[in-house]
Amino acid sequence: MSNLGADLDSEYLLSDYPVIEQCVLLNCRYVNDGRPFWQYIVSSSTGCWDSQYFEELYNYYTTEKACHLCDPDAEKVFKNLRNAGVKLAVLSNFDTRLRSVLRALECDYGFDVVAVSAEVEAEKPNPTIFIKACELLGVKPEDAVHVGDDRRNDMWGARDVGCNAWLWGSDVNSFKEVSLTTSLLLLASKLHEPHAFLICISVCARL
């Protein structure tokens, strides 16, 4: 934020982490797309209450400058999965800016569903967000695979509602591995009753 007149280091910002808990208690996490929540967090952490500064920072996180793709093979893999009949969803503890971020990074790839906590009014590991994503896709939780990088929020949260769950960095390490493992599951399903598979990617891009 130095270009906005606030030169703060990460240790200072993290020292004010309790303001997040306070804001949650104020029940403003899901008000108006989370904007009041983030404004409170930013202003309380930095001591800067200028709305113009906040808007510049808030909007910055809708651009490709704030994020990067975590895997260059993502586009090819997602398209191959869709061609194989796999429904795709992005499931994230974020707000509706995620759609702008995906477009800015040119990685929206025709996802069937973008489920964000700000709209669902629940965040992982709350079962509600997983169930809602499955409902929007028209699949049963047991026919869905969730891929995420957080053991508690992603893996345990998904399994609690009956989804399969793969932990990024452990069960799978790249989108190529996601594609290969899914292909094997699809092949195996043909030996029994066909299933619809969902890959919920919680982290398509990283800050």
On whether both 79 and 139 belong to a single domain, the answer is: yes
Helices (DSSP H) in 26-173: which residue ranges?
35-46, 51-60, 74-83, 97-104, 117-120, 127-137, 157-160
On whether both 33 and 86 belong to a single domain, the answer is: no
Over residues 66-101, the pLDDT tens digits come to 887 778 888 888 888 888 788 889 988 888 888 888
Q: Does the pLDDT at position 200 exceed 50? A: yes
CB neighbours of residue 117 within 10 Å:
21
On whether both 172 and 124 belong to a single domain, the answer is: yes
On whether both 73 and 127 belong to a single domain, the answer is: yes
Question: Could you give the number of structural domains in the chain?
Answer: 2
Last-in-domain residue among 60, 89, 104: 60
On whether both 17 and 108 belong to a single domain, the answer is: no
On whether both 83 and 183 belong to a single domain, the answer is: yes
Mean pLDDT on 172-195: 68
On whether both 22 and 80 belong to a single domain, the answer is: no
User: What is the domain range of residue 49?
Assistant: 2-60
State the pLDDT at residue 191.
40
On whether both 189 and 142 belong to a single domain, the answer is: yes
Q: Does the pLDDT at position 32 exceed 90? A: no
State the pLDDT at residue 98.
85
Last-in-domain residue among 60, 87, 107: 60
Q: Residue 161: pLDDT band by 50, 70, 90 thresholds?
A: very high
Residue 10: exposed, middle, or buried by beta-carbon count in 10 A (0-12, 13-18, 19+)? Answer: exposed
On whether both 175 and 79 belong to a single domain, the answer is: yes
